[in-house]
């Protein structure tokens, strides 16, 4: 009879490879016996209905919407009467909404799935002027002017309905497995089975954790004293990882936790820092890193090296050079204003004013007088923030080389303003930063613009401008692709890019209409159609 297959973990972690190897060696020839099987009943409760911030977070996780896009779509749903007001930090539902949800749950899933709930806001400064975000009519299953709106409405409907449904009933099984070769160590296997799905029939809340626990599965039936056969035991090398960068959703969550802003400010705050170039949202490739894996199977230990991708980020928020320079300037000169607790403290003072316990004029004067003095002092004494960093000496001229922020963004500067010879400047590439670029890479930038050759008597060159690397042929400019290196690109590739650009800009006659020729082509702002 085949023995059940179980995946178990050792509670302890080994600090070094020799410790892991010694443990595996002790397991050679060991027997594995089920020492205890414990089954625990459990329940899982649904999340509260949506507030502005939780809607933005969940729409990002499940639908891939940015916070600004989510709010624009929600605004449309609200204006057409499909959902309640979408700028709120309340999780409360009215009695009318709760009763309507009960009817909808009972009609769609049966009475056993229905359970009325009233949620309370955990946020200290929450304003309960509005309900949570909910459908205005729970019997309307689909709403929205387009597919994006339909998907967001569906998310709101499911979240609200699930909040008024019964808990999911679970049974969690924990199995302790004794190892004959290690009397003081146990292997632990955990499994979970859903006895009644409850609200899970409709909705499961997403999560931001990138390194979450593995999904627990169903364990085979086991009994105390049962003998198990080891198929494989692996000791895998792992490294500490830096905290993941923020997505728009996780940043909204953090802003809410810190009490920074209100529901109506999250989307414009995040979009503004991106529009002004302080932050970019993009995906970045990681770098390969080897790690060791020791494996015990058939009483033999093997040693292998595997590779993992480290540092890969998908649609995360990254500070730009300009953003870091501006942040450092504000932290140095306006520490009170950029303190995490500043907004929350001001909100508390506003609450005191609203209760009539303080005069608003006194509060404003207490803040503005020292703030105005600080502005004057900074304006008169602070130097212009450039984030300048000295990289070394230019071997050709003997002058100092700096990385800094200039009028058109991050750049490299050879020489100083007071020198007899004017400083030379070169823009950084998008994948370079003033904080990390090294001398060699900085000097390479001054090799541009670079002449690649000629075509039809016109010079073809490559350079880096305000909007990134480009190739130029007469009056035609074409941007380089991500795989093109401006220091390595050849004439053939440059001509290919230029020809593609010209082809994209060409016009085409569509035919005559009402005595005029219709032409289609591309203009400065995209595709155009005009009569001539």
Cβ pair 62, 158 in contact under 8 A: no
Convert 371-388 to b/e letters by CB count within 10 Å (16 or more is b): eeeeeeeeeeeeeebbbe
Per DSSP, helices labelled H in 195-263 are 248-258
Cβ pair 412, 401 in contact under 8 A: yes
Residues annotated catalytic, as ranges: 85
Cβ pair 294, 238 in contact under 8 A: no
Rounded Cα distance between 391 and 428, Å, is 14
Cβ pair 520, 507 in contact under 8 A: yes
Nearest to 77 by CA among 141, 144, 148, 135: 144
Strand ranges for 180-226 from DSSP E: 182-196
Peptide bond into 95 cis (omega under 30): no
Q: How many residues are listed for the chain in this entry?
A: 532
Tokens 């290690």 identify what position? 182
Rounded Cα distance between 351 and 249, Å, is 28
CA distances from 522 to 13, 509, 527 (A): 61, 13, 4
Q: Are strands 300-310 and 313-319 parallel, antiparallel or unpaired?
A: unpaired
Rounded Cα distance between 178 and 190, Å, is 15
Could you write out the three-class secondary structure of 413-426? EECCCCCCCCCEEE
Rounded Cα distance between 513 and 481, Å, is 39
């Amino acid at each position: 009879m085949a023995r059940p297959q179980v995946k178990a973990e050792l509670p302890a972690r080994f600090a070094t490879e020799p410790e892991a190897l010694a443990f595996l060696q002790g397991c050679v020839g060991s027997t594995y016996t089920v020492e205890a099987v414990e089954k625990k009943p459990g329940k899982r409760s649904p999340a509260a209905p949506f507030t502005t911030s939780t809607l933005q977070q969940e729409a990002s996780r499940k639908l891939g919407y940015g916070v600004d896009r989510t709010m624009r779509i929600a605004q449309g749903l609200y204006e057409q009467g499909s959902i309640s007001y979408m700028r709120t930090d309340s999780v409360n539902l009215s009695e009318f909404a709760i009763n309507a949800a009960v009817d909808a749950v009972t009609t769609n899933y049966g009475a056993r799935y229905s359970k009325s709930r009233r949620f309370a806001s955990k946020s200290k400064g929450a304003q309960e002027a509005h309900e949570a975000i909910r459908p205005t009519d729970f019997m309307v299953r689909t709403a929205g002017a387009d597919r994006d709106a339909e998907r967001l409405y569906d998310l709101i409907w499911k979240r609200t309905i699930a909040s008024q449904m019964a808990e999911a009933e679970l049974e969690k099984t924990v199995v302790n497995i004794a190892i004959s070769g290690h009397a003081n160590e146990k292997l632990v296997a955990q499994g979970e089975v859903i006895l009644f799905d409850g609200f899970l029939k409709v909705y499961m809340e997403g999560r931001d954790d990138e390194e979450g626990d593995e999904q627990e599965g169903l364990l085979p039936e086991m009994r105390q004293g049962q003998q198990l056969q080891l198929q494989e035991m692996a000791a895998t090398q792992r490294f500490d990882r830096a905290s993941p960068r923020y997505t728009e959703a996780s940043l909204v969550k953090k802003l809410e936790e810190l009490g920074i802003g209100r529901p109506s400010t999250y989307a414009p705050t995040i979009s503004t820092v991106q529009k002004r170039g302080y932050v970019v949202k993009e995906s970045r490739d990681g770098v390969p890193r080897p790690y060791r894996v020791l494996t015990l199977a058939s009483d033999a230990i093997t040693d292998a090296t595997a590779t993992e991708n480290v540092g890969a980020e998908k649609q995360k928020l990254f500070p730009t050079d300009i953003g870091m320079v501006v942040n450092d300037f504000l932290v140095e000169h306006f520490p009170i204003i950029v303190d995490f607790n500043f907004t929350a403290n001001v909100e508390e003072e506003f609450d005191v004013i609203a209760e009539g316990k303080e005069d608003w004029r006194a509060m404003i004067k207490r803040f503005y007088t020292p703030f105005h003095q600080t502005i004057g002092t900074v304006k008169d004494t602070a130097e212009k923030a450039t984030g300048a960093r000295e990289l070394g000496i230019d071997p050709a001229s003997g002058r100092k080389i700096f990385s800094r922020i200039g009028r058109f963004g991050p750049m490299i500067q050879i020489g100083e303003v007071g020198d007899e010879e004017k400083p030379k400047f070169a823009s950084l590439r998008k994948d370079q930063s003033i904080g990390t670029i090294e001398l060699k890479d900085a000097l390479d930038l001054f090799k541009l613009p670079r002449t690649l050759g000629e075509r039809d008597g016109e010079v073809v060159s490559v350079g880096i401008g305000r909007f990134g690397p480009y190739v130029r042929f007469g009056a035609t400019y074409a941007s380089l692709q991500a795989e093109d290196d401006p220091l390595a690109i050849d004439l053939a590739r440059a001509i290919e890019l230029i020809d593609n650009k010209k082809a994209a800009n060409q016009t085409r006659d569509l035919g005559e209409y009402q005595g005029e020729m219709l032409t289609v082509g591309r203009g400065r702002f995209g595709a155009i159609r005009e009569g001539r």
